[in-house]
Amino acid sequence: MFGIELHDGWTIYIWLLSGAAILVGVVFGIRWAARNEQFDEDIKYLVFDDGDKDKMDPEEFAKYQEVTKQQEARRREVLAEKEAAAHKL
């Protein structure tokens, strides 16, 4: 068929290429995540709200408030950057 003859053992090369492509994709995914603040250990506190105060230790609640304040400040920064970039266009 079409003058191409595949010999035995050619499938290993497909597996190798697929594995290499997956590894490259993983590296780019991790790089993207690191640049976009996806590895934040404190993200678990963002699922809480002020109504959860009685379910949390006082230090955890204080940490929740601190993390929420930081995330809101970062959100305002990102939105301001996006707005500035939109005005430059």
Tokens (6 digits) for 72: 């809101």
Tokens coding 10: 């050619």
Confidence of residue 48 (pLDDT cuts 50, 70, 90): confident
In the chain, where the domains are located: 42-89
Distance CA 15, CA 18 (A): 5
* pLDDT, mean of residues 27-46: 88
> What is the model's pTM?
0.58
pLDDT of residue 37: 83
Judge whether residue 13 has pLDDT over 80.
yes
Distance CA 48, CA 3 (A): 65
Once rounded to an integer, what is the mean pLDDT over residues 63-69?
A: 91
